[in-house]
Chains A and B, each alone.
Chain A
Amino acid sequence: MTAPANEVEVDSPFDGEKAPASPRADLVTAAVLFALGVAIIAQAWQMPRFVEQSGTGLTAPGIVPGFYGAMIALLAGLLGLRAVRRGGWTVRAARRPANGDGRQLLTAAVLGVVYAGVLVGRVPFWMASALFVFAFTTAFEWVQGPERRARRIVEAVLIGLGTGLAVTLVFEKLFLLRLP
């Protein structure tokens, strides 16, 4: 019951990834975007208008973002309507990511957030990067099974350290940039 893949794929081996989002997902997205649009309009409305300073109300800072907010809300409404027509109310979300998929995605996202959001800026950059690369590589290569795991872990350590040191050297010494 998924929407048909109506884009003609040319020689692409990855058709699955180009499958359109389900009507249910579209409906939820439309609701979120509609709320965003309305929130933008409300915020834009409350901005000061600077009528006395400029002698005209047309340069009020809220006009342009307000218009964008209105357009986002309007287009989100259209998206919602389209999703309903395609059965967004009735059809259950058909395309659920496989569990393994979800877990991998979560691993990558959590590692990324911990690295860029927490470690960087608190720990020396080379160390943070080395840890991140090591953890990332090890986590994703763990599933390849126990044989040669020790070797892979050692390689991951080396890649991590290599990345951390190479990036630090290249950026700080060659490009004279500062690292966090």
Chain B
Amino acid sequence: MHRRPLLIAAAAIAAASRAAAQEAWPTRPTTIVVPYVPGGPSDILARTLAQQLQARLGQPFVVENRTGANGAVAAQYVARQPPDGATLFVAASGILTINPLLIQRIGYDALRDFTPITIAISASNLLVVNPSVPANTLPELIAWLRANPDRASYGSSGIGSSEHLGMELFTQRTGTRATHVPYQGGGAAVTDLVGGTLQMALLNMATVLPQVQAGRLRAIAIGGRARHPLLPEVPTVMESGVADFTSGSWHSIVAPRGMAEPLAARIHGEVTAALQAPEVAQRLGATGFAVEAGSRAELTATIEAETMRWRDVVSRAGLAAG
């Protein structure tokens, strides 16, 4: 327990014990660009990965928070960097799939400007209602929404969040109506949700789980493909009868475009290996995310499929703004 908390980056130590790299990883420090402020899931992912990769590769990894314009500032920056492995980007699902649909002249192209590495972590959104809503199951909720077409409001962590578009998709699929109330982050919506000003929301599971466990909110269904181990009794939305519906968010690792295939493969190998370290699963699991670490093709396919799905939802909801 007498670990001396040296604040000097482990970089120095790591640099000293530098091991010989096989596939030429650039010798200058690798920067992992995070599009949001420190403390959130992207940042935790980046810093956990940096720690793991540094230990694996014996060379310094630096985390850089470049925030602004919902991640567009960071994305534009990464798109301009050389694809030499010295720059990696923690790209959230919204940055690669939703934002380009909502914002004109966003300044980057999700598929063209980046070399996909892997989806790193993902989390499902949980559909919850205030206990005053007389519905315990999804069909009951849909029936209640149909009977009370203008009464329901739902919260989200912001316009164009996976939580907002997930709910749009839900109302479109079920032919129901509800008013969207955007908040600055899902946590802020919880107060109004528990207080009963909002009737329902499809929020990141980690945000609402404590309230569900305490009985202040009622879980109706989960937006994942399968049930969640922490809430085994809560069915998925699809199980409850809404076809082809998933809602959640993920964070991927991408590199600047045009990266040579061997280097991309090397990075993919190292990153996925780092993600599979038990501490990574534990640390990110606590924030409600599960480690994915899939193939590079899967990431591309996911970006394409989700972009297509959200394009449809956005145009039907008339959301495409300036």
Among A144-180, those with CB < 8 Å from B are: 173-176, 178
**Bound Cα distance A180, B142 (Å):** 52
Chain A residue with the shortest CB-CB distance to B50: A176
Chain B residues numbered 1-38 whose CB sits less than 8 Å from any CB in chain A: 7-9, 11
B270 at the interface (CB under 8 A from A): no
Q: How far is the CA of A174 from the CA of B11 in the complex (A)?
A: 11
In the bound assembly, the distance between CA atoms of A178 and B66 in angstroms comes to 9
Bound CA–CA A129/B64 (angstroms)? 21
Of A174, A175, A178, the contact of B64 (CB 8 Å cutoff): A178
* B106 contacts A by Cβ under 8 Å: no
Number of B residues with CB within 8 Å of any CB on chain A:
9
Contact of B318 among A53, A175, A176 (CB under 8 A): A53
Measured CB to CB, the nearest residue on chain B to A53 is: B318
Contact A174 B7 (CB under 8 A): yes
The yes or no answer to B62 lying at the interface (CB within 8 A) is yes
- For residue B63, CB closer than 8 A to chain A, the reply is yes
Flag A100-121 by CB within 8 Å of B: 1 or 0 each. Answer: 0000000000000000000000
- The dominant DSSP class at the B interface is mixed
Most buried by B among A53, A174, A175, A176: A176
Interface string of A19-55 (1 = CB under 8 A from B): 0000000000000000000000000000000000100
The answer on a CB contact under 8 Å between A173 and B8 is: yes
Chain B window 56-80, contacts with chain A (Cβ cutoff 8 Å), 1 for yes, 0 for no: 0000001111000000000000000
A175: B residues at CB distance < 8 A? 7
* A90 CB, nearest partner CB in chain B, Å: 50
Chain A min CB distance to B296 (Å): 28
Give min CB distance, A178 to chain B, whole Å.
Answer: 5
Q: Judging by beta carbons under 8 Å apart, are B318 and A173 in contact?
A: no
* Residues of A close to B63: CB separation below 8 A: 176
**Is B8 a contact partner of A178 (Cβ separation < 8 A)?**
no
Closest to A50 in B: B321
| Distance between Cα atoms of A31 and B140 in the complex (Å) | 62
Closest to B63 in A: A176
Closest A-chain residue to B33, C-beta based?
A178
Question: CA A175 – CA B62 in complex, angstroms?
Answer: 11
Chain A positions within 8 Å of B65 at CB level:
178
Residue from B7, B65, B318 with most neighbouring chain A CB atoms (10 Å)? B7
Interface of chain A residues 37 through 90 with chain B (CB within 8 A): 53
Residues in B whose Cβ lies below 8 Å from that of A178: 62, 64-65
Cβ contacts under 8 Å, A53 to chain B: 318
Q: For A176, what are the chain B residues with a Cβ–Cβ distance below 8 Å?
A: 9, 62-63
Tell me, rounded to whole Å, the shortest Cβ–Cβ distance linking B62 to chain A: 7
With both beta carbons as reference points, the residue of chain A lying nearest to B11 in the complex is identified as A173
CB distance from A58 to the nearest CB of B (A): 14
A-B contact pairs, 12 of them (CB 8 A): A53-B318, A173-B8, A173-B9, A173-B11, A174-B7, A174-B8, A175-B7, A176-B62, A176-B63, A178-B62, A178-B64, A178-B65
Q: A175-B7, A178-B64 are in contact. List 9 more A-B contacts (CB 8 A).
A: A53-B318, A173-B8, A173-B9, A173-B11, A174-B7, A176-B9, A176-B62, A178-B62, A178-B65
